[in-house]
Amino acid sequence: MALVNDPKSSWQELYLAALVEPDQNKLTELVLAVEYAIFLRAQELANSYADNQERIEMDRAAEKLLIIKTEKLGWPGIKHRNLDRD
């Protein structure tokens, strides 16, 4: 269980659990929880130069979560707009 006073371990623990969760319903809940925990942690780090490595880890986790959502959960992927047409 994540330590209450350690927000970094909070999102990381949830993320690691999502990577190995076989049940789709639980995985959906975990993905949403991880995204929210990452959002909260990013807000905490927003005005800080500290822990750039954690920001990199959060970016990588977000990318992996997108893959989990599209490939394991069947959510629609991100469609990139063709900027030349606008």
- What is residue 63's three-state secondary structure? helix
Q: d(Cα 42, Cα 50) in Å, to the nearest integer?
A: 12
Asked if residue 37 belongs to a domain, the reply is yes
7-22 pLDDT, tens digit per residue, is: 667 999 999 999 999 9
pLDDT of the residue at 77: 78
For the chain, the residue count is: 86
Asked if residue 81 belongs to a domain, the reply is no
Asked if residue 1 belongs to a domain, the reply is no
Q: Is the pTM of this model over 0.85?
A: no
25-38 pLDDT, tens digit per residue, is: 999 999 999 999 99
Asked if residue 85 belongs to a domain, the reply is no
- 84: pLDDT strictly greater than 70: no
Asked if residue 71 belongs to a domain, the reply is yes
**Number of folded domains that form the chain:** 1
Asked if residue 60 belongs to a domain, the reply is yes
Asked if residue 56 belongs to a domain, the reply is yes
Domain span at residue 62 reads: 8-75
54-83 pLDDT, tens digit per residue, is: 999 999 999 999 999 999 999 887 776 665
Asked if residue 67 belongs to a domain, the reply is yes
Beta strands in 1-86 (DSSP E): none
